Amino acid sequence: MGWLFVAYLYEDAEGLERLQELEREDDMSERKLLAFDLSADDVWSEVVQSGYRNIIIDVDENRIEDVLMQALEAGLVTELHSYLLVSLDAHVPGSRPALRQAMAEARVYSFRMLELDNDDFILLGRRLVRYHPDLTAGGREKQTQLALVHDAIHVFAAALHNLSISGGSLEPNPVECDTATFLKDGQEILDALKSVSGDVECGKGPRLRARSVRRRRSAGGEGIDDSIDENSLENRTIIITTILSPPFVMLKEGAEKLEGNDRFEGFCVSMIEKVARLLGFHYRLNIVADGRFGVEQEPGRWNGMIGELQAGRADLALAPLTMTSRRSTAVDFTAPFMTLGIGLLNAREDETVAHTFLSPFSAALWCAVVATVLASMLLLSLVGRMSPFEWRRISDSRLDTDYTLGNCFWMLFSGLTLQRVTLTPKAPSTVVAMVSWWLFSLVVMVAYASVLGEFIIRYRDRPTLDSLDDLLRQKEIKYGTLRQGSTHDFFKRSTFPQYMKLWQGIQSQGDEAFVDSYAEGLERVMGGSYALFMDSPALEYLESRYCEVEQVGEVIGSSGYAIALPKGSAFRSELSAAIIRLKSEGTLQLLRHYWWHERGAVNCPREQPVYRPTPFTVRFGRLSLVFVFLLLGLVITMLVMLFIFVRGHARKNLSAESMSAVWSTLVEELRAAMLCRKEKHAKDEEDEAKDQAATTPAQRSRSSPPSLLRTTPLRDPCEALDIGLAHSRRTKQHSISVAGSRHSPVSSHRRHRARIRCRKTVPF
């Protein structure tokens, strides 16, 4: 029957004796048998914990139904369980509906002495009903007894009849009790014995000739099965243990809402679906509890999926399970469904990213810095032009300011790079603005320099790996394998000199060289300074989805992935034939191309972008308070500028009527400062002509040192303007004398407006 892990249930001394006889059989050395005494307490929980699904029940015929009902309550009567009833003429119970329905799913095997559709047995039953109806009561057990009595009489009568026809003598010989004389016709009588239940051979041991008569097939009862093949997978439901390992076995999106096999997808899942369709079996996928492929922990004792097969909790192990000689001592393998080697996964060498100066800051932070520079440049130029302290006379007819857009950009950029600037702010508003900017620049540049320094130091001496020899010659990049697995064992047991050196290097790193999963290994590889030896199919899968990693050198070693089965399993040849057929038809190649290069694969560009974040990149959130501080400084700058402007008008003792023109004057000055336009009224031109006539040569000679910046000459109507009004605070004069008399405040206000209109700035 191919049972390798069997639970034997007995209830008396006779059952224990039969168990001991069974254990002495030659073929039991390859099987594992656990005995359970049904008279013990809590025996069914022990059977459940064992995980065995092949169960032998050795109890009295009248107790079979009760025992099976207890098994049903323990959850042991399902489509995954098989039962063998040891009783010589056991009948599958069906009086209880719940048990009858459950037994229709389970596989139940039993022995029977009667062939119920035998013509002689049917004729005997009709005669008994007609002449002896009282003998037909008692069910199948009574029918068996009557059949045995009938056979005995029939055999004896037939033997006598055959002997009489052949001329044999039936006269008994005198037999003495104290002698060993045998009946002389005894051998002839034995040769004539034939039974209606079939040919019988009497000899030493059990019945020698038997044939399969019936097997439980459906809920409808029993059916004839003249060709039962216990080595076939057809119509079976098997348990498959597996492990999550992309792209072989993965959980679907929304798997928590799905049940059974519908939760899984991947290469192995697609493959087993096609194999099951070819061989006509059903299966159930279970994730291995400890998440391991299988490592020998003690002699003969394995964990992971191989341990599940050894314990009988699974019929197959379906996963990227590497065929090794050591594993072959514990399980059997089918023909390989995929060939593989061992490759080295390392971070991709990217010269562009390794030498870029944009990596210290994130893209959002760089955008914020650029936007801040532009906004601060416009604001600083506006504040400088609005302040009278930032204007100077370079001649009698020329005014100039250093706060052009180009100069402001140069001042801010120099401050950002911590360079010296020759321009010194004079107005309180520009001083506040520049102090805020310098503090902002200091924090930003310190953060940039520290991150860039760490980045350069980290990558300056980073070695380049092109082969395993390069890996052996360097010490900066550590390397390792999975903590347990075929790759680990390959290097550990290898006798090739280069591989032995690699294993020595792995051992020298201690526990840091190993990872528990490929996901952990990928994270360490992408973090830098670590390389991982792994199976080439898994490496190819990661390389097609993560552009930051690549394979180094050539693949070493050669092995294959295969389906594992319990040792001595009868399904090995059938599964191997199906796999070979799928390979020859190209089905497995199509599945591999789909799961590796179509489903979820990305196209990695050959040329990497100029900018890409690194593990050291500073995000905007870490420097957000610095931008808030700068914004606060610029707000204070605007408030100081407005305060000086309003205070300047108040000190000129303007009348209440003229104070209404302060804000309109502010608007005009803003327009003149930003648009560099000059607008003059006829009356203003007349006042300017008078002021020019009243200006003394000494006043016209006052000027600031010449500027190296370009200037824009004023037109003729502005040349009569008293430029000294721009320096009224320095000369302590707040009004202008014209022809020895003092003008009214209104006239001074008008000249002040004319002066603003005549301001010119140097275009950048």
Rounded Cα–Cα distance for residues 667 and 675 (Å):
12
Rounded Cα–Cα distance for residues 167 and 156 (Å):
17
Q: Is 195 annotated as a binding residue?
A: no
How is the chain split among helix, strand and coil, in percent rounded to 5? 50, 15, 35
From residue 203, give the alpha-carbon distance in Å to each of 155, 200, 207, 339, 367. Answer: 17, 10, 8, 55, 99
Exposure string over 410-423, b if 16+ CB within 10 A, otherwise e: bbbeebbeeeeeeb
How far is Cα of residue 236 from the mean position of the Cα atoms in its chain? 33
Q: Write phi, then psi, for 452 (nearest 5 degrees).
A: -65, -40
List the structure tokens of 599.
């489903």
Strand intervals (E) in 396-509: 398-401, 478-480
How far is Cα of residue 390 from the mean position of the Cα atoms in its chain? 63
Q: Write phi, then psi, for 167 (nearest 5 degrees).
A: 85, 15
From residue 536, give the alpha-carbon distance in Å to each of 342, 526, 543. Answer: 5, 18, 10
Q: Is 535 annotated as a binding residue?
A: yes
State the DSSP code for 26. Answer: G
State the DSSP code for 720. Answer: T
Q: Name every residue whose Cβ is closer than 8 Å to that of residue 67 and which is 6 or more positions away in sequence.
A: 9, 38, 57, 59
Q: Is 315 annotated as a binding residue?
A: no
Q: Is 144 annotated as a binding residue?
A: no
DSSP string, 526-568: HHSSEEEEEEHHHHHHHHTT-TTEEEEEEEEEEEEE--EEETT
Three-state DSSP class for 685? helix
One-letter amino acid of 458: R
Q: Is 356 annotated as a binding residue?
A: no
Query: In whole angstroms, how large is the CA radius of gyration of the chain?
Result: 51
Does the CA dihedral 13-19-21-24 come out positive or negative? negative
One-letter amino acid of 665: T
Rounded Cα–Cα distance for residues 87 and 487 (Å):
51
State the DSSP code for 32. Answer: E
**What residues does 296 pair with on adjacent strands?**
302
Q: Measure the N-to-C terminal CA separation of the chain; round to a whole number of Å.
A: 96
From residue 170, give the alpha-carbon distance in Å to each of 176, 182, 651. Answer: 18, 14, 160
Q: Is 327 annotated as a binding residue?
A: yes
Apex CA 24: angle with CA 23 and CA 25, to 5°?
A: 90
Which residue ranges are tagged as binding site for L-glutamate? 320, 322, 327, 486-487, 535
Which residue ranges are tagged as binding site? 320, 322, 327, 486-487, 535
